[in-house]
Amino acid sequence: MAPRRKKIYEGKAKILYEGPEPGTLVQYFKDDATAFNAQKRDVIEGKGVLNNRLSEYFMTGLANIGVPTHFIRRINMREQLIRQVEIIPLEVIVRNFAAGSISKRLGMEEGTPLPRPIVEYSYKNDALGDPLVPEEYIVAFGWANQQDLDDIVALALRVNDFLSGVFYGVGIKLVDFKIEIGRIWDGDYMRLVVADEISPDSCRLWDVKTGQKLDKDVFRRDLGSLTDAYTEVARRLGVMPTNTTTMKPTLIN
3-class SS of residue 173: strand
CB 175 → ligand TMP: shortest distance, Å? 7
213 is an interface residue for ligand TMP by CB under 6 A? no
User: Does residue 203 belong to the site contacting ligand TMP (CB under 6 A)?
Assistant: yes
Site pattern 126..165 for ligand TMP (x: CB under 6 A): ----x-----------------------------------
Rule CB under 6 A: is residue 180 a binding residue for ligand TMP? Answer: no
Query: Which stretches of 30-100 are assigned E, i.e. beta strand?
Result: 32-35, 40-43, 71-74, 79-83, 86-87, 90-97
Alpha-carbon separation of residue 39 from 12, 58, 126 (angstroms): 12, 29, 11
CB-count burial class (<10 Å; 0-12, 13-18, 19+) for 9: exposed
Q: Which of 162, 139, 33, 38 is closest to 90 using CA atoms?
A: 139
Q: Which stretch binds ligand TMP (CB under 6 A): 23-31, 145-153, 175-183, 187-195?
A: 175-183
User: Within 89-108, which residues bind ligand TMP (CB under 6 A)?
Assistant: 91, 93, 99-102
CB of 253 to ligand TMP, least distance (A): 26
With residue 233 as reference, give the H or E element that holds it.
helix 226-237
> Judged by CB, which is closer to ligand TMP: 194, or 203?
203
Residue nearest to ligand TMP (CB): 100
Quickly count: other Cβ atoms within 10 Å of residue 158's Cβ: 15
Residue 202 found at the interface with ligand TMP (CB under 6 A): yes
Task: Kindly compute the dihedral angle of the four CA atoms of residues 53, 175, 236, 155, in this order, to the nearest 10 degrees.
Answer: -50
Site for ligand TMP in 1-40 (CB under 6 A): none
178 binds ligand TMP (CB under 6 A): yes
Choices 43-51, 57-65, 201-209, 239-247 (CB under 6 A): range interacting with ligand TMP: 201-209
* Maximum CA extent, the chain: 55
CB of 185 vs ligand TMP, minimal distance in Å: 26
Of 101, 103, 97, nearest in space to 115 by CA: 97
**Contact set with ligand TMP (CB under 6 A):** 91, 93, 99-102, 130, 176-178, 202-204
